[in-house]
């Protein structure tokens, strides 16, 4: 039983779930993901692991309610309820080594999956600088947890309501141009990872990104998650999800993320209507 | 006087069935089955048994049907094959048992597959009998993959009395029977029923368990399993490797069929997984999977479905019955064409550019090799394309199991009993042979179970 043992709102539409999944928790490494399914009629969605506790047999998922499945999770699944399925850990773990000084950039809900990567890098002896950005203060979370696993935490918001006003790419640019940064990790919306990659590429600093294309099985079987890296088709689920950001075909990734836009909108609308009806 | 032709099996009308996912053939009635069974010559040499990869005593089960004793018929089949409702539907009988039927030399061969299906369905309605399970041996065997090879292996191991745990990566067991073969050819309730039988026999099933990730073959051996059977199949989709293949609207057959079969996208939005099908759909390939994809696309509302195959109809690997079904339903076949490029607008597929081919000299498979005709490029507008040119062995287990020898095709090297280079590790089905049939995988699973049984008993003897 994949029981939700803890559910906690972190920010606007962003919720933390601690879920019983001992198999996943026992084998998880930074950078890997799990695929979940809510119920018998549910779709399979990939979520990068935000944390895990092998002893307790739990994993932590941080989910932004944006589509039918994530909104349903938020609205209908509470502490004590169980998810139908959790499978993982999937994908290759992050390549954690002692690089020297590394920068971990997180955009929005990407703060959650960058956390174990920063922790692992720190544990390997790196000097870790984190940059966490969001549109506004209300969308930031886990800043305490992040500062626990890095040497320096830079915060940005688009509207200046917390930290520096502006995008994560600005402090990133200063850091990589300033020299001494051996490697950068970036996790967040595709467009943010694309611009982080451009910044790093210009400065000649290697950047690793965690891609989030549409997946069905997550084990290499369907090919829905194909991405182009260095001009070669790769499957994000088994070859990734992390790739060198300067080598990713971003436009293709961004286009493919919208493959089912119309269907996703229709499913969400129907679900919201059903929710409203149930409440009235 | 023997009927020259087989008793026909009634089917859903093509015009009606392209609007639903219900099974196409209705199956024989008891009267029809008896009538067909009486065509069997009961020949002494029974070539049909040799034609069956699991060696069902075919004349004996048919004799029971002819006598109206359906219970005895199903028992006979189940001595050799515990999944007859599946095999009766998806086996290529025309190249196996029916292909060597003595009656077939002069007339139409006995409809062995239809008869197998009939008694399996009869039993499902009357109540299934559990095959006998052996006395507990104290041995535990892990079976990796719950497709045809894994299921057949698990049943056989239970019969010997070994404890069996089957590990399945997906959320539902059945492998290709669940994700690959469509509902209208193999209803999923039948697969679930057959799997429930296994569980009633004491087979333990663990879903969401990816061997090669959270579990490994060595980890299973260290955890107290005395042997491991690897039946992970050929689940890795092959693409054409041509420009435009990542446009929205281009699917691998695996993705397209998994969305529809395993995830029930045909019931979207009642089920959450969507699938998109344009007005004009091109399916690339000539095998059963291509036929399944084409017929699925029709049922999802496509106005026109084109099968693009680089050889001619004679070389198509698909079963004749599937080709006939596809044609009846209005699928259009374009032979001797090969896609060279997908074209799109705004990231979405709009057309496929193809080359015309001609047949040259035979290749290593004995089929004449298609050769492109220079300058014959032409463009066909399509909104959806499904690539059904075959699957490769799944690399996860070979990659994470030291000491297994892997061929250059990615298959695991195993002898005819499924023994690999590692003592206690056996393999069978598509992971050993490359993509093949359900029944050959079942045959391999069963053979491996017998070899595992010998291995364990020898081990116990010291």
Per-residue pLDDT reduced to its tens digit, A251-260: 999 999 999 9
B235/A86 CB distance under 8 A: no
A41/B271 CB distance under 8 A: yes
Contacts of A266 in chain B (CB under 8 A): 269
Q: What is the pLDDT of residue B421?
A: 87
Higher pLDDT, A123 or B365: A123
When pLDDT is averaged across residues A138-165 and rounded to a whole number, the result is 95
Whether B426 contacts B228, CB under 8 Å: yes
In the predicted structure, residue B394 carries a pLDDT above the cut 90: no
Contacts of B208 in chain A (CB under 8 A): 23, 85-87
Whether B87 contacts B439, CB under 8 Å: yes
Q: What is the pLDDT of residue A165?
A: 94
Q: What is the pLDDT of residue A179?
A: 87
Q: What is the pLDDT of residue A58?
A: 98
> Shortest Cα distance from B362 to chain A (angstroms)?
31
Is the domain spanning A2-90 CATH 3.40.50.2300? The answer is no
Please count the other Cβ atoms lying within 10 Å of the Cβ belonging to residue B458: 9
What pLDDT, in 10s, does the model give residues B344-384? Answer: 998 999 999 999 999 988 888 788 889 999 999 999 999 99
Give B2's pLDDT tier (boundaries 50, 70, 90). confident
B301 touches chain A (CB under 8 A): no
B239/A223 CB distance under 8 A: yes
Which chain A residue shows the shortest CA-CA distance from B175? Answer: A221
Q: How many residues does chain A have?
A: 280
Q: How far apart are CA A171 and CA A107, in angstroms?
A: 13
Q: How far apart are CA B149 and CA B151, in angstroms?
A: 6
B246/A228 CB distance under 8 A: yes
Q: Which two tokens stand for residue A167?
A: 């995008």
Give A279's pLDDT tier (boundaries 50, 70, 90). confident
In the predicted structure, residue A146 carries a pLDDT above the cut 80: yes
In the predicted structure, residue B462 carries a pLDDT above the cut 80: no
Q: Which two tokens stand for residue B208?
A: 């969401």
First to last CA, chain B: 60
**CA A126 from centroid of its chain's CA atoms:** 21
Whether B100 contacts B50, CB under 8 Å: yes
ipTM: 0.95
Radius of gyration of chain B (CA): 23
Q: State the fold for domain A101-210.
A: Rossmann fold (3.40.50)
The closest CB to that of B263, out of A68, A216, A260, belongs to A216
In a mutagenesis test of the A interface, which of B170, B215, B346 is the best target, namely the one with the most A β-carbons within 10 Å? Answer: B170
Q: How far apart are CA A157 and CA A167, in angstroms?
A: 7
Residue ranges of the alpha helices (H) in B180-314? 188-200, 217-222, 253-260, 288-299
Give A136's pLDDT tier (boundaries 50, 70, 90). very high
Q: What is the pLDDT of residue A271?
A: 93
Whether B124 contacts B83, CB under 8 Å: no
Give B460's pLDDT tier (boundaries 50, 70, 90). confident
Q: What is the pLDDT of residue B172?
A: 97
CB-defined contacts A:B, below 8 A:
119
B273/A216 CB distance under 8 A: yes
B21 touches chain A (CB under 8 A): no
B179/A221 CB distance under 8 A: yes
Instruction: Give percent of chain B with pLDDT exceeding 70.
Output: 100
> Shortest Cα distance from A46 to chain B (angstroms)?
13
Question: What mean pLDDT is reported for chain A?
Answer: 95
Contacts of B264 in chain A (CB under 8 A): 41
In the predicted structure, residue B107 carries a pLDDT above the cut 90: yes
What pLDDT, in 10s, does the model give residues B417-458? Answer: 999 989 999 999 999 998 888 989 999 999 999 999 999 999
The closest CB to that of A222, out of B169, B237, B241, belongs to B237
B399 touches chain A (CB under 8 A): no
Q: What is the pLDDT of residue B38?
A: 96
What pLDDT, in 10s, does the model give residues B70-102? Answer: 999 999 999 898 889 999 999 999 999 999 999
Q: What is the pLDDT of residue B11?
A: 94
Place of tokens 């779709």: A43
What pLDDT, in 10s, does the model give residues A232-253? Answer: 999 999 999 999 999 999 999 9
* Chain A positions touching chain B (beta carbons under 8 Å): 23-24, 26-27, 37-38, 41-44, 68-69, 84-90, 216-217, 219-224, 226, 228, 233, 238, 251-252, 255-256, 258-260, 263-264, 266-267, 270
What pLDDT, in 10s, does the model give residues B127-156? Answer: 888 888 999 999 999 999 999 999 999 999
What pLDDT, in 10s, does the model give residues B24-36? Answer: 999 999 999 999 9
Q: Which two tokens stand for residue B3?
A: 């009927």
Q: Residue ranges per domain, chain A?
A: 2-90, 101-210
What pLDDT, in 10s, does the model give residues B155-186? Answer: 999 999 999 999 999 999 999 999 999 999 99
What pLDDT, in 10s, does the model give residues A30-70? Answer: 999 999 999 999 999 999 999 999 999 999 999 999 999 99
């Amino acid at each position: 039983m994949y029981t939700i043992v803890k559910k906690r709102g972190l920010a606007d539409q962003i919720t933390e779930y601690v879920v019983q999944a001992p198999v996943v928790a026992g084998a998880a490494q930074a950078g890997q993901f799990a695929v979940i399914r809510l119920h018998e009629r549910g779709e399979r969605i990939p979520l990068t692991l935000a944390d895990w506790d092998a002893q307790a047999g739990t994993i932590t998922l941080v989910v932004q309610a944006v589509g039918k499945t994530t909104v349903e999770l938020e609205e209908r699944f509470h502490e004590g309820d169980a998810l139908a399925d959790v499978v993982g850990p999937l994908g290759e773990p992050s390549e954690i080594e002692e690089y020297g000084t590394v920068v971990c950039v997180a955009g929005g809900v990407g703060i959650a999956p960058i956390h174990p990567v920063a922790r692992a890098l720190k544990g390997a002896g790196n000097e870790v600088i984190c940059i966490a950005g969001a549109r506004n203060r209300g969308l930031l979370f886990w800043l305490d947890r992040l500062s626990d696993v890095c040497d320096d935490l830079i915060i940005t918001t688009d509207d200046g309501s917390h930290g520096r006003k502006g995008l994560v790419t600005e402090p990133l640019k200063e850091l990589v141009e300033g020299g001494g940064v051996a490697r950068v990790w970036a996790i967040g919306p595709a467009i943010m990872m694309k611009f982080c990659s451009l910044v790093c590429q210009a400065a000649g600093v290697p950047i690793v990104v965690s891609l989030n294309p549409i997946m069905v099985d997550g084990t290499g079987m369907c090919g829905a998650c194909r991405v182009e890296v260095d001009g070669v088709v790769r499957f994000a689920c088994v070859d990734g999800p992390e790739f060198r950001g300067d080598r990713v075909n971003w436009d293709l990734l961004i286009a493919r993320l919208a493959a089912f836009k119309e269907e996703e909108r229709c499913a969400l609308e129907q679900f919201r209507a059903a929710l409203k009806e149930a409440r009235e | 006087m023997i009927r020259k032709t087989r008793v026909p099996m009634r089917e859903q009308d093509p015009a009606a069935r392209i609007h639903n996912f219900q099974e196409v053939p209705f199956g024989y009635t008891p009267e029809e089955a008896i009538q067909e069974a009486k065509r069997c010559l009961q020949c002494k040499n029974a070539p049909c048994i040799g034609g069956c990869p699991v060696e069902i005593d075919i004349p004996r089960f048919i004799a029971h049907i002819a006598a109206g004793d359906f219970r005895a018929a199903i028992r006979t089949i189940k001595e050799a094959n515990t999944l007859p409702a599946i095999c009766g539907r998806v086996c290529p009988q025309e190249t196996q048992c029916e292909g060597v039927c003595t009656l077939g030399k002069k007339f139409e061969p006995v409809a062995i597959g239809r008869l197998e299906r009939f008694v399996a369905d009869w039993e499902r309605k009357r109540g299934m009998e559990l095959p006998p399970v052996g006395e507990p041996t104290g041995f535990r065997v892990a079976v990796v993959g719950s497709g045809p090879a894994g299921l057949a292996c698990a049943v056989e191991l239970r019969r010997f009395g070994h404890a069996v745990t089957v590990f399945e990566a997906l959320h539902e067991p059945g492998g290709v029977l669940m994700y690959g073969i469509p509902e209208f050819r193999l209803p999923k309730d039948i697969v679930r029923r057959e799997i429930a039988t296994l569980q009633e026999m004491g087979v333990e099933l663990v879903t969401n368990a990816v061997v090669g990730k959270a579990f490994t073959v060595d980890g299973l051996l260290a955890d107290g399993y005395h042997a491991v059977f690897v039946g992970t199949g050929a689940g890795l989709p092959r693409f054409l490797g041509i420009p435009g293949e990542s446009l929205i609207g281009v699917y691998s057959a695996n993705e397209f069929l998994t969305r529809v079969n395993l995830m029930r996208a045909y019931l979207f939005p009642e089920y959450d997984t969507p699938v998109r099908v344009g007005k004009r759909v091109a399916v690339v390939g000539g095998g059963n999977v291509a036929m399944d994809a084409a017929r699925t696309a029709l049922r999802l509302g496509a106005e026109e479905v084109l099968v693009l195959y680089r050889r001619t109809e004679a070389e198509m690997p698909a079963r004749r019955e599937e080709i006939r079904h596809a044609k009846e339903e209005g699928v259009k076949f374009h032979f001797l064409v090969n896609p060279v490029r997908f074209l799109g607008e705004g990231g979405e597929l709009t057309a496929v550019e193809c080359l015309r081919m001609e047949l040259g000299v035979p290749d290593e498979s004995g089929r004449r090799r298609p050769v492109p005709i220079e300058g014959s490029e032409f463009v066909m507008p399509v909104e959806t394309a499904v690539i059904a040119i075959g699957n490769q062995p799944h690399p996860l287990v070979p990659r994470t199991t030291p000491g297994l020898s892997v061929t250059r095709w990615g298959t695991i090297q195993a002898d005819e009993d499924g023994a690999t280079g590692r003592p206690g590790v056996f393999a069978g089905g598509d992971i050993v042979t490359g993509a093949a049939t359900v029944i050959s995988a079942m045959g391999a699973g069963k053979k491996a179970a017998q070899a595992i049984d010998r291995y364990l008993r020898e081990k116990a003897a010291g």
